[in-house]
Amino acid sequence: MILDWDWITVRVHPDVVPLVQRDVGELDPDLASMIVVAAGPLDRADVRVAWEHGSMTRDTQQIMQAIQDALGQLGLHQKTEAPMKRTMAYAD
């Protein structure tokens, strides 16, 4: 065993699963065998990773809200109604 836990679950948007599975497949085989990639009810840019003793979440909306709040406190942000466009693809 490479790490102190036996499994890692990575949850991503269903459209992103193949991309993440491809990345996991390029890892060291011992590490890759510990990782399960699953679809979850997430935005395309978000991810949830869980392991035996913890977890982490990347929530783009929360990150953007924190940035807007920080800029607002500095008087540097004007609220816009335009939705943020998100794309994800591999570079050539």
- pLDDT, tens digit, 9 for 90 and up, residues 25-55: 999 999 999 999 999 999 999 999 999 889 9
Tell me the CB-side half-sphere exposure of residue 29, using CA atoms within 13 A. 0
Is 3 within the bounds of a domain? no
- pLDDT, tens digit, 9 for 90 and up, residues 55-84: 999 999 999 999 999 998 888 866 655 555
Is 30 within the bounds of a domain? yes
- pLDDT, tens digit, 9 for 90 and up, residues 7-18: 999 999 999 999
Q: What pLDDT, on a 0 to 100 scale, did the predictor assign at position 53?
A: 87
The residue range of the domain holding 69 is: 8-73
User: How many structural domains are present in the chain?
Assistant: 1
DSSP state, residue 82: S
**Is the model more confident about 4 or about 75?**
75
Write down the residue that tokens 């783009």 correspond to: 60
Is 59 within the bounds of a domain? yes
DSSP lists the bridge partners of residue 12 as 39, 47
Is 85 within the bounds of a domain? no
pTM of the model: 0.70
Residues sharing a CB contact under 8 Å with residue 33, sequence separation 6 or more, in sequence order: none
Is 23 within the bounds of a domain? yes
Is 45 within the bounds of a domain? yes
pLDDT band for position 1 (50/70/90)?
very low
